[in-house]
Amino acid sequence: MSSVPTGPVPPANAPQENVPAGTSAVVVGGGIAGIAAATVLAERGVAVHLVERGDQLGGRAGAWTETLSDGQSFEMERGFHAFFRQYYNLRALLRRVDPELAHLASVEDYPVLGPDGTSESFAKLVRRSPFNVIQLTHRTKYMSFGDLFKVNRKPALDMFRFDSEWTYAEYDDKSASDYFDSLNFPDKARSMLFDVFAHSFFNPEENMSAAELLMMFHFYFTRNPEGLLFDVAQRPFSTAYWEPFAQYLQERGATVECGCVASGLRRRQGRWVVDTSSGEIVADMAVLAVTVPALKALVDASPELHEESWLQRVHSLGLTNPFAVWRLWLNKPTEEGRAPFVGVTEYECLHNISLYHLFEDESREWADKCGGSVVELHAYALDPQLGADEIKGHMLRGLHDLYPETRDAETVEERFLLHQDCPSFAPGSDAARPTVETPFPGLCLAGDSIKLPFPSALMERAAASGMMAANCLLAPLGVAREPITTVPRRGLLRARRHDRAR
Ligand SMILES: Cc1cc2nc3c(=O)[nH]c(=O)nc-3n(C[C@H](O)[C@H](O)[C@H](O)COP(=O)(O)OP(=O)(O)OC[C@H]3O[C@@H](n4cnc5c(N)ncnc54)[C@H](O)[C@@H]3O)c2cc1C
């Protein structure tokens, strides 16, 4: 891993411990990106006002309290999240409230299951690249020695040539599915090794940038020193992380206001005025860490932000297809030996299955008490025309096929979510994607849709972008930036001495 410089370099007399007294910031959006920005700023003495539209912090990784029909309360989430080991910045953030990362538990294997008993395991792969790729290619049942010779070498080797400038120039206009086609992998190997991976970014292959896909390969696999390993939260995100974060921020003088909607920004005497549902907030600096539609709406409603080329960048952002999360409380246990999490391929509308009772406290307690199981099904990059019933039908067929013991289980309780709020990474979208810095002094963007100068994705991108936003705002004040860490920035076949030295 390596540290990356981010934003303007503080003057020579830095670091100072704290900003000048009275320095203030408003952070709009209480997802991971907003929490990361607010944390870094508050730790350096900035008087932070964090406003969040929802009733709780966490955004897309949030959790809220619901009640089961037996009267038991539980924390519902938008579903299973994998905390990969190379999420250095997210982990550094979470350590503020969970110093030993004790709320995370490791998942030893996450096999991919397909129809007719097909499966692929990613367990016990060596961590170092390219040996991990060689080992996986060698041990998979779905690719023979002969097939290897038919693979198109140039695009295959480009997985090891990631370089943000070169890869985006070469591949951003192509789609991920065109890239997969160009590899000439056998169909089964493609579906077992690649399809689940591509789906995990919520974008449909045919409308996802091949450059973004190659960045994901680089970040998760070909240049990930931690190996394909991830952890899961053993407790609901709310009690494990977001409630402690609200307290952590308040202890550092921040105001955390949930249920508060920001509607526009203005400048007044060199400061930012944010109009919200609970009145004006005036601050020296501002971070917008909101979802894509909310960012567009906020900027549209703020005429002072209508700098033509930047406005076009903001407008270039979009949302990808909907996703579905279906949590089922079943009256029967799942078979002994099932993995807590599996990827699923070749089933319409089913991309992974998590067995919550195997790793999360609340679900384990419920399953122990009732002799049942808590199963969560996810489907990504869905056709927007599909209705809830159709999606559920597909999901259930997949579950029954892969885990036959669930066929005659009764559903005691269920929660179904169908949303569309994850960012699109369509072919050709990179050049216009907005960055953390904006043309406006004291205003930064953060979130998992924002372009970063190093490989990153999803929750980690949200955390890193929030930290970068705080660093950009702190730099002119001469205050020490938050260290930001990433996997090596270039692929093995493109690594420069600079990368190797670290
Ligand atoms: C089903 C599912 C599974 C996922 N699995 C994984 C995974 O396994 N691994 C992984 O790394 N990532 C995963 N992700 C992605 C991850 O959840 C996101 O990348 C991350 O949470 C994004 O954080 P964010 O802060 O950028 O945005 P958000 O979480 O969307 O935060 C933006 C916040 O802004 C608030 N807001 C919007 N408008 C306003 C306004 N006008 N005023 C005030 N507040 C406003 C919103 O309410 C929201 O809380 C998953 C996502 C989903 C949906």
Q: How many angstroms does the Cα of residue 61 sit away from the middle of ligand 1?
A: 6
Please compute the mean of the pLDDT values over residues 297-318 and round it to a whole number.
Answer: 98
Residue 369 structure tokens: 């008490």
| Residue-range definition of the domain harbouring residue 441 | 2-57+236-317+425-486
Q: Please identify which residue in the block is written with the tokens 């070909």.
A: 222
In the prediction, which pLDDT does 496 show?
59
Q: Which atom of ligand 1 is nearest to the CA of 380?
A: 1
Task: Give the model's confidence band at 232: pLDDT under 50 very low, under 70 low, under 90 confident, else very high.
Answer: very high
User: 214 and 247 share a domain?
Assistant: no
In the prediction, which pLDDT does 127 show?
79
> Into how many domains does the chain fold?
3
In the prediction, which pLDDT does 498 show?
46
Question: Which protein residues touch ligand 1 with a CB less than 6 Å away?
Answer: 28-34, 51-54, 59-61, 78-79, 81-82, 261-262, 289-291, 294, 298, 323, 325, 378, 422, 447-448, 458-459, 462
What are 38-53's pLDDT values in tens digits?
Answer: 999 999 999 999 999 9
What are 199-219's pLDDT values in tens digits?
Answer: 889 999 999 999 999 999 999
Kindly state whether residue 443 falls inside one of the protein's structural domains.
yes
In the prediction, which pLDDT does 5 show?
43
In the prediction, which pLDDT does 502 show?
37
Query: What is the rounded distance in angstroms from the CA atom of residue 107 to the CA atom of residue 92?
Result: 20
User: 162 and 45 share a domain?
Assistant: no
Lowest mean pLDDT among 10-19, 181-190, 244-253: 10-19
Q: Whose CA is nearest to atom 51 of ligand 1?
A: 60
Q: Whose CA is nearest to atom 19 of ligand 1?
A: 458
In the prediction, which pLDDT does 182 show?
96
Given a cut of 50, whether residue 11 has pLDDT beyond it is: no
Q: Whose CA is nearest to atom 20 of ligand 1?
A: 459
Q: Residue 298: give its domain's CATH number.
A: 3.50.50.60
Given a cut of 80, whether residue 12 has pLDDT beyond it is: no
Beta bridge partners of 265: 274
Given a cut of 50, whether residue 135 has pLDDT beyond it is: yes
User: 31 and 10 share a domain?
Assistant: yes
Q: In this predicted model, which residue has the larger pLDDT, 158 or 191?
A: 158
Given a cut of 70, whether residue 10 has pLDDT beyond it is: no
Q: Please identify which residue in the block is written with the tokens 């093995």.
A: 492
Q: How many angstroms does the Cα of residue 348 sit away from the middle of ligand 1?
A: 25
User: 290 and 330 share a domain?
Assistant: no
Domain boundary among 419, 439, 465: 419
Domain boundary among 195, 222, 249: 222
- Probe target for ligand 1 pocket from 260, 290, 424, with the most ligand atoms within 8 Å of CB: 290
Measured on CA atoms in the order 470, 472, 475, 476, is the torsion positive or negative? negative
What are 255-289's pLDDT values in tens digits?
Answer: 999 999 999 999 999 999 999 999 999 999 999 99
Q: What is the DSSP letter of 175?
A: B
Q: Look over the chain and give the mean of its residue pLDDT values, rounded to a whole number.
A: 92
Question: Could you give the angle at the alpha carbon of 254 between the alpha carbons of 250 and 257, nearest 5°?
Answer: 90
What are 69-106's pLDDT values in tens digits?
Answer: 889 899 999 989 999 999 999 999 999 999 999 999 99
Query: What is the rounded distance in angstroms from the CA atom of residue 488 to the CA atom of residue 502?
Result: 9
Lowest mean pLDDT among 117-126, 143-152, 282-291, 489-498: 489-498
What are 396-428's pLDDT values in tens digits?
Answer: 999 999 999 999 999 999 999 999 999 999 999
Please check whether residue 331 is in contact with residue 372, taking contact to mean a CB–CB distance below 8 angstroms. yes
User: 370 and 450 share a domain?
Assistant: no
Q: Please identify which residue in the block is written with the tokens 């005429």.
A: 303
Q: How many angstroms does the Cα of residue 32 sit away from the middle of ligand 1?
A: 7
Helix/strand/coil percent split, the chain, to 5: 35, 20, 40
User: 396 and 471 share a domain?
Assistant: no
CA nearest to 358, candidates 344, 345, 372: 372
Q: Residue 176: give its domain's CATH number.
A: 1.10.405
Given a cut of 60, whether residue 13 has pLDDT beyond it is: no
Kindly state whether residue 436 falls inside one of the protein's structural domains.
yes
Query: What is the rounded distance in angstroms from the CA atom of residue 478 to the CA atom of residue 205?
Result: 44
Domain boundary among 401, 419, 437: 419
User: 309 and 388 share a domain?
Assistant: no
What radius of gyration do the chain's Cα atoms show? 23
Residue 375 structure tokens: 């199963």
Kindly state whether residue 39 falls inside one of the protein's structural domains.
yes
In the prediction, which pLDDT does 4 show?
47
Q: How many angstroms does the Cα of residue 271 sit away from the middle of ligand 1?
A: 28
Q: Whose CA is nearest to atom 7 of ligand 1?
A: 81
Kindly state whether residue 52 falls inside one of the protein's structural domains.
yes
Query: What is the rounded distance in angstroms from the CA atom of residue 244 to the CA atom of residue 30?
Result: 13
224 CB contacts (<8 Å, ≥6 apart)?
84, 86, 127, 129, 218, 487
Beta bridge partners of 73: 67
